[in-house]
Amino acid sequence: MSNDPIKPDPNQKLGRISKNAAFLMLSAVVLLLLMQSLRGQENASARISYSEFIQYLDQGGVSKVTFRDRSIDGEFRRTVQIDGADFTTFESMTPGDVSDGLLSELASQNVVVDAEQPQAGWGTFLLTALPWLLFIAFWIWIFRTMQGGGNRAFQFGRSKAKMITPDTPKVTFADVAGADEAKEELTEIIEFLKDPSKFSRLGGRLPKGVLLVGPPGTGKTLLARAVAGEAGRPFFQMSGSDFVEMFVGVGASRVRDLFEQGKAHAPCIIFVDEIDAVGRHRGAGLGGGHDEREQTLNALLVEMDGFESNEGVILLAATNRPDVLDPALLRPGRFDRQVVVDAPDVKGREGILRVHAKKLPLADDVELSVIARGTPGMSGADLENICNEAALLAARRDGDKVSMSDFEQAKDKVMLGTERRSLVLTERERKLTAYHEAGHAVLGLKVPGLDPVHKVTIVPRGRALGITASLPKEDRHSYTKEWMLGQLAMLFGGRVAEELIFGVNAVTTGAGNDIERATSMARRMVTSFGMSDVIGLIAIGDNDQEVFLGREIQQRRNVSEHTQRMVDQEVKRILDEAHKMAHDVLGEHADLLESIAQALLDRETIGRLDLEALDQGAPLPPLPKLEESPEVLEPPKATPAADPDPRSFGLGGEGPLPELAPGYVVEEDPEVF
């Protein structure tokens, strides 16, 4: 990190001077109160009753009295001892107004009579001094907050950016795996900061902005932390939401202050996480605070590439919504580079697992490469979660090391959800679920081009009563029409199996999720992918989009009612053909459907090798016998024969449909609530 001294803020010196002045004023008020109290003690008088006052008056012992409303202050003609103390003055109260008789008696005794306005008491004095005390306290609060942090008074316009100091725990590029291209791009930025002459000698300039783009959980923020650990220069980090405040103009002021701090420590890096909070398209005019957000964005645009240059200040930002950012923010000169941080491939997944497994005591049977091949499409955050769940499972069974079976169970839990053994299904529901999942499995086995089915279970997990998991043989980045049509047929496999076994009128709501995903997929085939001969190669926009992104509200409907009707007809035709394909395949392989369903009812979970054996008509290995023990409280889980080869173990959660993201595919029978 840099050892450059941070320039003192002149406002802090002014605040200290003003604070001292306010302290002196408060001390003066306290001194006046103390003097008033001491003066009252010095002029202490004897407190006597009105009767005693009349007695002293009759005896000629009073020389002077002063009336203040109903109070009487007087002087004795000689020193009087009361309760062992000598007094020359006294205080008393009259029961009413001063009578003429009392005045005559005083005159006859040659007593000097005087009258004064009532003196202000402590209550009156405090009420008089209270406004001044409040005024002094207010200024003390103002001056203290001027020296405080960014969330205090008059600090709304100051940046909330935190500067990474040398004593902060460092994250380096060695802690980041699966993003080699992104690390290469960022390494060049770091080298530029350390040795600008290496690049500037050929006329190159320092990039002003780098935007990290990628799905959630792929390591964008982790890369930024690694840049902070590797750069060796001042690094300011801030969230996009930190610019937003309830007061108008605060966001723009914070942007200016942020870049002022950056210029004071140049060359440096400023990292803004989730920049889409302030960088969305301008001009929507909807939703509260849009004018304030646009002012903040305008200030950011000017600071990045405006009339004044900010040489040596690199803005590093991250977002998973680059489609909503304003085009002016993405142009060269502002964000010169967009670094894509996508889901890792099999090599990247293995590297990520090795990084997270460093702190775990691994058993000898753990093969991280096998786990990496069985988790296609998963992000770095998902893989970290699998490692953490595996460690927790090992600790739960009081193990000393994390074994391969712990990782397999962790994959089940992360991808498919937690088993709900406590959910008791009736025999009819178990049978319905078994045939439903068997229908998916038969389509997965018999339709060419589909991903291999790796596990089928009727053990409830999450909200699903049953799950059929498919795993591609390799990472998939694009999809063929053949695959999509086969996938539609597989989605309808569960419903068709119910129709064939229980009748059309006995179908259940379990296929609701399948139908929803199939409909969305078929509509995208027609409107986005150009896979309909009737509609042709035309993209048909969908107006049901978010209106607060800035640009969608300006889109007009460019599709006629006739074309929209044709789209609906094509979607219906594709779905009907997929339903017919599923019906034909299951009708042709009714014996396989029956055998898979019976195996599910007996074993609850079957794996890839079991499915292949059933497909070939071979009997399954017998279930292992359980030792009689009172501690066995639940039925056995999947048998070892269900998935004897860990290299073929591949499970998944909610599949890529309708998003069609790379990775595993899961067909599930949703629970009905």
Q: Has this prediction a pTM greater than 0.85?
A: no
The proportion of the chain whose per-residue pLDDT surpasses 90, expressed as a percent, equals 17
Place of tokens 């010196």: 13
Q: Which pLDDT does position 608 carry in this prediction?
A: 86
φ, ψ at 296 (rounded to 5°): -65, -45
In the predicted structure, residue 454 carries a pLDDT above the cut 60: yes
Report the CATH number at residue 48: 3.30.720.210
Clarify whether residues 564 and 616 are in a common domain.
yes
Q: Which pLDDT does position 565 carry in this prediction?
A: 92
In a domain, 27, yes or no: no
Place of tokens 């394909």: 581
CB–CB of 399/406 below 8 Å?
yes
In the predicted structure, residue 599 carries a pLDDT above the cut 60: yes
In a domain, 473, yes or no: yes
Q: Which pLDDT does position 498 carry in this prediction?
A: 93
Q: Which pLDDT does position 545 carry in this prediction?
A: 47
Task: Name 339's bridge partners.
Answer: 212
- What's the whole-number mean pLDDT along residues 533-550? 67
Clarify whether residues 410 and 437 are in a common domain.
no
Show the tokens assigned to 50.
């009105």
CB–CB of 238/162 below 8 Å?
yes
Task: Name 91's bridge partners.
Answer: 47, 73
Say which residues have a Cβ less than 8 Å from residue 519's Cβ, sequence separation at least 6: 571, 575
CB–CB of 36/47 below 8 Å?
no
Report the alpha-carbon distance of residue 619 to residue 467 in Å, rounded.
Answer: 23
Between these two residues, 413 and 490, which has the higher pLDDT value? 490
In a domain, 550, yes or no: no
Report which listed range, 39-48, 109-118, 150-159, 661-670, is most confident: 109-118
Q: Of 308, 340, 372, which residue sits at a domain end?
A: 340
Q: Of 313, 340, 367, which residue sits at a domain end?
A: 340
Between these two residues, 185 and 7, which has the higher pLDDT value? 185
Q: Which pLDDT does position 169 carry in this prediction?
A: 63
pLDDT tens-place string over residues 314-336 = 888 999 888 888 888 888 888 88
Q: Which pLDDT does position 149 carry in this prediction?
A: 44
Candidate from 285-289, 402-406, 631-635 with smallest mean pLDDT = 631-635
| Residue 568 pLDDT grade (very low, low, confident, very high; cuts 50, 70, 90) | very high
What is the torsional sign of CA 42, 43, 49, 52? positive
In a domain, 606, yes or no: yes
> Residue 584 gets which letter from DSSP?
H
Q: Which pLDDT does position 208 carry in this prediction?
A: 82
- Residue 247 burial by Cβ neighbours in a 10 Å radius (0-12, 13-18, 19+): exposed
Report the alpha-carbon distance of residue 84 to residue 63 in Å, rounded.
Answer: 22
- What's the whole-number mean pLDDT along residues 126-151? 64
| Residue 531 pLDDT grade (very low, low, confident, very high; cuts 50, 70, 90) | very high
In the predicted structure, residue 554 carries a pLDDT above the cut 80: no
Q: Which pLDDT does position 521 carry in this prediction?
A: 94
CB–CB of 590/439 below 8 Å?
no
In the predicted structure, residue 575 carries a pLDDT above the cut 90: yes
Say which residues have a Cβ less than 8 Å from residue 277's Cβ, sequence separation at least 6: 239, 240, 241, 243, 244
Q: Which candidate, 365, 349, 353, places its Cα nearest to that of 389?
A: 353
- What's the whole-number mean pLDDT along residues 87-99? 80
Between these two residues, 13 and 52, which has the higher pLDDT value? 52
Length of the chain: 673
**What is the residue-wise DSSP string for 225-279?**
HHHHHHH-S-EEEEEGGGG--SSTTHHHHHHHHHHHHHHHT-SEEEEEESGGGT-
CB–CB of 206/267 below 8 Å?
yes
Clarify whether residues 283 and 302 are in a common domain.
yes
Candidate from 175-179, 309-313, 524-528 with smallest mean pLDDT = 309-313
Q: Average pLDDT over the chain, rounded to whole? A: 77
Show the tokens assigned to 560.
């006629």
| Residue 99 pLDDT grade (very low, low, confident, very high; cuts 50, 70, 90) | confident
> What amino acid positions are annotated as catalytic residues?
437
User: What's the half-sphere exposure (Cβ side, CA atoms, 13 Å) at 426?
Assistant: 3
Q: Which pLDDT does position 288 carry in this prediction?
A: 46
Clarify whether residues 358 and 482 are in a common domain.
no
Clarify whether residues 403 and 483 are in a common domain.
no
Q: Which pLDDT does position 441 carry in this prediction?
A: 93
Report the CATH number at residue 518: 1.20.58.760
- What's the whole-number mean pLDDT along residues 656-667? 45
Clarify whether residues 395 and 496 are in a common domain.
no
> Residue 465 gets which letter from DSSP?
E
Q: Which pLDDT does position 388 carry in this prediction?
A: 92
pLDDT tens-place string over residues 250-291 = 778 888 888 888 888 877 888 888 888 888 887 755 544 457
- What's the whole-number mean pLDDT along residues 423-432? 85
Clarify whether residues 312 and 361 are in a common domain.
no
Report which listed range, 189-198, 415-424, 499-508, is most confident: 499-508
In a domain, 594, yes or no: yes
- Residue 641 burial by Cβ neighbours in a 10 Å radius (0-12, 13-18, 19+): middle
Report the alpha-carbon distance of residue 268 to residue 338 in Å, rounded.
Answer: 19
Report the CATH number at residue 375: 1.10.8.60
Clarify whether residues 281 and 325 are in a common domain.
yes
In a domain, 432, yes or no: yes
Clarify whether residues 403 and 449 are in a common domain.
no
| Residue 651 pLDDT grade (very low, low, confident, very high; cuts 50, 70, 90) | very low
Q: For residue 531, which amino acid is it?
A: M
**What is the residue-wise DSSP string for 329-362?**
HHSTTTS-EEEE-----HHHHHHHHHHHHTTS-B
Pure H helices in 169-245? 180-194, 197-200, 220-231
Q: Which pLDDT does position 42 carry in this prediction?
A: 47
Range of the domain at 50: 44-119
- What's the whole-number mean pLDDT along residues 95-106? 77
586: three-class secondary structure by DSSP: helix
Clarify whether residues 456 and 576 are in a common domain.
yes
In a domain, 324, yes or no: yes
Q: Which pLDDT does position 423 carry in this prediction?
A: 77
- What's the whole-number mean pLDDT along residues 401-409? 89
CB–CB of 252/306 below 8 Å?
no
Q: Which candidate, 55, 46, 37, 52, places its Cα nearest to that of 85?
A: 46
φ, ψ at 53 (rounded to 5°): -60, -40
Q: Which pLDDT does position 387 carry in this prediction?
A: 93
- What's the whole-number mean pLDDT along residues 99-111? 79
In a domain, 184, yes or no: yes
In the predicted structure, residue 527 carries a pLDDT above the cut 60: yes
Q: Which pLDDT does position 38 carry in this prediction?
A: 57
CB–CB of 14/147 below 8 Å?
no
Q: Which pLDDT does position 374 carry in this prediction?
A: 82
Clarify whether residues 333 and 357 are in a common domain.
no
Q: Of 415, 439, 458, which residue sits at a domain end?
A: 415
Measured at the CA of 486, the angle between CA 483 and CA 491, to 5 degrees, comes to: 120
Clarify whether residues 362 and 509 are in a common domain.
no
Q: Which pLDDT does position 23 carry in this prediction?
A: 67
Domain count, the chain: 4
| Residue 191 pLDDT grade (very low, low, confident, very high; cuts 50, 70, 90) | confident
| Residue 159 pLDDT grade (very low, low, confident, very high; cuts 50, 70, 90) | low
Q: Which candidate, 478, 481, 469, places its Cα nearest to that of 533?
A: 481
pLDDT tens-place string over residues 359-393 = 899 998 888 888 888 888 888 889 999 999 999 99
pLDDT tens-place string over residues 210-237 = 899 988 888 888 888 888 888 777 888 8
Report the alpha-carbon distance of residue 660 to residue 377 in Å, rounded.
Answer: 11
**What is the residue-wise DSSP string for 489-557?**
HHHTHHHHHHHHHH-GGG--GGGHHHHHHHHHHHHHHHHTS---TTT-S-----S-S-TTSSSGGG---
